Each structure stands twice: as C-alpha cells, then as structure tokens.
Amino acid sequence: MTGNEPGSWAQHHVLVESVGLLDEGTRTILRVSGDRAGDMLHGLVTNDVKRLSAGQGLYTFMLTPKGRPVAEMRLLRLDAGFWMDMPASCLESGLAHLRKYLPPIYARFEETDTRRLGVVGPPAAAAIDAWAGESVTEGLGPLEARPLEVEGREVLLARREVIEGPGFDLYVSAEDREDVRSGLAAAVSGLGGGAVGPEAWEILRVERGIPVFGRDFSQEDLAQETGQDSRAISFDKGCYTGQEVVARIHFRGHVNRILRGLRLVEPTDDSPGAATFAAGRPLFKGDRERGLLTSPVDSPRFGHIALGLARTEIEPGRRLALEPSGAEVVEIMQLPFDPVIGSTPT
C-alpha cells in the first residue's frame, strides 16, 4: 500500500496546503506533425481534436476497434503539430497503435527529449510567476498552454485540469531540465513548499479519483468503465477507432462495472485489516465477486482508501468484503473523496 513511505504524508501536506515541485520525467512526450495531423488524430482518439486551437489541450484515450483503451494522454495542440503526453505505462501499446493506425503519408510521430515538471498546490501560480519574474499564469484556463522564455531557456507552460487541482506543468528540454528545476525549486521554497516524490502524488491522485492506465484500467477494460466520460470522450464528434462500441454503450446500454472510490472501514478483531487491502484484491458480496482493488493508499485525511472497479449496482454507501462471505469492511465511495476537490477552481 502506498502512503507509508518516509515523508509521504508530509509531502502530501505540502501539495494540499502549500506548493510542491513534482518531477514527472517518466512521462513521454510524442510529437505528431504533418499536413493532416489534426484529422488523423481526430480519427484515433475519443475526444474532439478539431475543436482545439493552438495553445489548447484535452485529455483523451486511444482505443482498439473493440473499444478497449491502449493509451491515455494529454493532447496539446501547438503552432506546429501536436504533443501527446502519456505515462510510461502505456507508451509501448500507444506506439504500437500509432504505427498501425497513423498513415505516415498524412502524419508522422516521434519521441522527443521533452521532460515535464509539475508545480502543484494552492499557490502554484505565485510560484511560477516568481520563477519567471513576471505574471505568466494569468488568463490560462485548464489545459491551456503558452510558450515562455525564462533566462534564455524555452519552456511550455500548461495549466492542469480541474480534476488534478491547482497547478501547472512546465515542458522543458532534457538539456535545460536541471537548470529549470533548480529555479523552480527556489521559487517553491520561497513560498514554504518543497520537492515532493511520486508517493505523495499517488495519495492525492487517489483522493481526486484520477485513474491511470496499467493500474486502474487496461486493454482488458472498456473505456466507459473508467468513469471518465465527460473528461475523455466526445459523443458527438463522429467516427474514430472504437467509436461504435463506445456509442452503443452510451446510447443503448451500460457497462457492468465502473471506477469507484473504496474505503476500508475500521476493522473488527476478526476481520481483514489494512495488510489485505492490496492492489489486485477481489471484492465480494456474499460468495460472489463484485469488485477489484486497483490503487490502495494510506491517506492522512481519509485513512485506507483506494480506487477500484465495482459492479454498477453496488452504489456508494454500500459495502463489500475482502474474502468470500467475509465481513463487509470496504465501503463504496463517490469520487472524489473530498467533494471540494472536484469543484476547486484552477
């Protein structure tokens, strides 16, 4: 279970109450270019690429023809082409999908040496402005981006999505990464914040109900089982790979399970404890399997919580067990865990 690592609770506090510097260098930024790059991407992803102007972005999936996710990403439209910002967990399947479905005569893709640094927390804008030496964050909406030049180094500044909470990401070349990181660290420190590790962000990610490919969903799942319909899917954009399955579920049917929050209630002496609240653990109602734990963390605010998949008929407020016919000690929760998070302006 994530959250017990030394310092993770203190770093989580920094993200919630102050401002943290998060190095997300494991993500890969692909560049997609070509005369028809926008058209080709529009036919490959679940969200509406054609509505994007330069400097705007969206969150989206790429799907198999059977409606199964092969990659999740932040897609940014720039003056020259697009950036696909995706986690390492879906890079291999994402690249294979692009090789198969992106005709090189119309669009090309390549890996870049761009790295991503996150500045996350309520005073994130103040930290960025202090680092830049001027107001550069004003007017940026969620997933809007603008290029900057700070001390001779070119970076791209993007505001995070509402679901991610207050914060910004800076895209910087590998060559300039350490210098930019050093400058950001000083600005963050000046506001009482500091560097944070992936364990702290993992806690906050689960609290905010943000699933990740390879942990909370995979090619074995359906896109709508992730619960990200309004965030990742356009239902009126027209054809794209996997669209027929997505549309059929949306307009005529439903999924049988969906991403939920899960909370381990105070166990009794004879019920399973936190040690069994682990990723990959099935959940039961009576002797029937009705859910699956995917991302458990130890949250300083909400206790032992997790993301997971549960049958759609198992509504928030009901409970499941960690073993067949066992004590029902896992409560189904509405996401996000903190309702204020989902409505926090960014």
Tens of pLDDT, residue by residue over 59-91, are 999 999 999 999 999 999 999 899 999 999 999
CB 163 within 8 A of CB 212: no
The confidence score (pLDDT) of residue 267 equals 67
- The torsion angle over the Cα atoms of residues 187, 159, 111 and 242, rounded to 10 degrees, is 150
pTM: 0.94
- Tokens encoding 334: 């509405």
- pLDDT beneath 70, residues of the chain: 1-6, 267-274, 339-346
Return the percent helix, strand and coil in the chain, to nearest 5: 25, 30, 40
- The torsion angle over the Cα atoms of residues 22, 86, 159 and 178, rounded to 10 degrees, is 40
- Tokens encoding 176: 């300039």
What is the DSSP secondary-structure string of 138-182?
A: TT--TTBEEEEEETTEEEEEEEPPGGG-SEEEEEEETTTHHHHHH
- Phi–psi pair at 146, nearest 5 degrees: -145, 140
The confidence score (pLDDT) of residue 342 equals 42
- Which residue shows structure tokens 């991403």? 259
The confidence score (pLDDT) of residue 271 equals 58
**Cα distance between residue 236 and residue 121, in whole Å:** 34
Cα–Cα nearest to 167, from 222, 225, 126: 126
The confidence score (pLDDT) of residue 7 equals 86
Going across the sheet that includes 167-173, the strands are 145-150, 153-159, 167-173, 114-120, 20-23, 194-196
What stretches of 198-302 adopt beta strand conformation (E)?
257-264, 282-285, 288-299
Complete domains list, the chain, with CATH: 8-206 (3.30.1360.120)
Query: Could you report the per-residue pLDDT of 183-199, keeping only the tens digit for each?
Result: 999 999 999 999 999 99
Cα–Cα nearest to 142, from 211, 29, 57: 57
**Cα distance between residue 325 and residue 99, in whole Å:** 47
